[in-house]
């Protein structure tokens, strides 16, 4: 077991974590701001991948798919919030949960009807095909690209939430929506945008994952489980938590893959159980919420 291999394994873990972060981020934003546990998150990830595939096949370019699909699915997410979820805010927290749970099934079946239940090839864009020599080993260029995109998106989301007036309203609204209403802020409009943003992020995750894992109607179900584990470890609703936990889980999976590969899936659940025992609100979560 040489140092190069361990370094390479660490890097693989970080790259895997980047994808986990992308998926967990939207889930965490929606829960943190709206208090909605979005069980349709995995299905929307899958719908995003299919939308990306569809746009890419129409235009002949992966880049249009990457650009258009997240925006389109984000708008679709806003429609879901406006029509289906908004009427449920006054009711118990279980109602949006049940609604999105059912919605997930509807989306998967709809995609099966429209695109068939077999997988569809999604080739790596030719500009990003091939491997790069990192000095410690070879790594696919496309995965490096994904790490770059995720980093850029994280910086953008952070700037948007911390440095803009919109971000200020979002953060205030998450703490006390009633006061925001009293101050004359249209909190309903803010929630609409936040839900759209969260859904758009998971759709982007779907398009990014497609060239690595290909596209099939069930691709969202595993992703949903991973996203929940990451948000629970990081703390439900905490963005920093989603990032740290995403990287942590990625590296944990990668290191387990090196020493006990058959445990590589179970390790994230073990990690979650451990965190819940020691710190039930998650690494960066505030006690009392959820």
Footprint of another protein (CB under 8 A): 2, 5, 8-9, 12-13, 15-16, 19, 117-121, 123-124, 130-131, 137-140, 142-143, 212-214, 216, 218-219, 222-223, 253-254, 257-258, 261-266
CA pair distance 220, 111, nearest whole angstrom: 12
Q: Which is nearer to another protein, 60 or 121 (CB)?
A: 121
Q: Which is nearer to another protein, 128 or 188 (CB)?
A: 128
Q: DSSP letter at 264?
A: T
Q: How far is the CB of 117 from another protein (least distance, A)?
A: 6
Buried b (16+ CB within 10 A) or exposed e, 43-70: bbbbbbbbbbbbbbeeeeebeebbbbbb
Let me know: does 19 contact 204? Beta carbons within 8 Å.
Answer: no
Q: How far is the CB of 259 from another protein (least distance, A)?
A: 10
Q: Which is nearer to another protein, 248 or 253 (CB)?
A: 253
CA pair distance 203, 197, nearest whole angstrom: 10
Angle between helices 94-115 and 41-59 (to 10 degrees): 30
Q: Which is nearer to another protein, 183 or 266 (CB)?
A: 266
Q: How far is the CB of 1 from another protein (least distance, A)?
A: 9
Q: Which is nearer to another protein, 16 or 21 (CB)?
A: 16
Q: How far is the CB of 54 from another protein (least distance, A)?
A: 16
Nearest to 42 by CA among 205, 195, 194, 197: 205
Q: How far is the CB of 199 from another protein (least distance, A)?
A: 21
Q: Which residue has the tokens 């410690």?
A: 136
């Amino acid at each position: 077991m040489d140092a190069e291999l361990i370094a390479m394994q660490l890097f693989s873990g970080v790259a895997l974590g980047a994808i986990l972060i992308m998926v967990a981020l939207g889930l965490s934003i929606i829960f943190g701001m709206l208090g909605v546990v979005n069980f349709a998150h995995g299905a929307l990830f899958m719908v995003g991948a299919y939308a990306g595939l569809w746009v890419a096949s129409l235009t002949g370019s992966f880049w249009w798919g990457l650009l258009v699909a997240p925006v389109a699915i984000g708008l679709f997410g806003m429609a879901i919030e406006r029509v289906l979820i908004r009427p449920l805010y006054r009711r118990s927290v279980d109602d949006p949960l049940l609604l999105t749970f059912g919605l997930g099934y509807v989306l998967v079946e709809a995609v099966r009807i429209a695109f068939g239940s077999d997988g569809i090839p999604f080739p790596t864009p030719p500009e990003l095909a091939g491997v790069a020599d990192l000095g410690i080993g070879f790594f696919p260029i496309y995965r490096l690209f994904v790490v770059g995109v995720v980093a850029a998106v994280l910086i953008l989301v952070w700037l948007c939430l911390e440095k803009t007036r919109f971000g200020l309203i979002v953060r205030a609204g998450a703490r006390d929506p009633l006061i925001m209403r009293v101050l004359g802020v249209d909190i309903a409009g803010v929630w609409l945008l936040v839900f759209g943003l969260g859904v758009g992020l998971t759709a982007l995750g779907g398009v990014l994952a497609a060239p690595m894992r290909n596209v099939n109607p069930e691709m969202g179900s595993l992703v949903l489980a991973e996203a929940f584990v990451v948000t629970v470890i990081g703390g439900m609703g905490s963005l920093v938590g989603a990032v740290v936990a995403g990287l942590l889980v990625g590296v944990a999976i990668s290191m387990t893959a090196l020493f006990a590969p058959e445990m590589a899936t179970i390790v994230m659940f073990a990690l979650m159980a451990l965190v819940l025992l020691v710190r039930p609100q998650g690494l960066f979560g505030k006690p009392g919420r959820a």
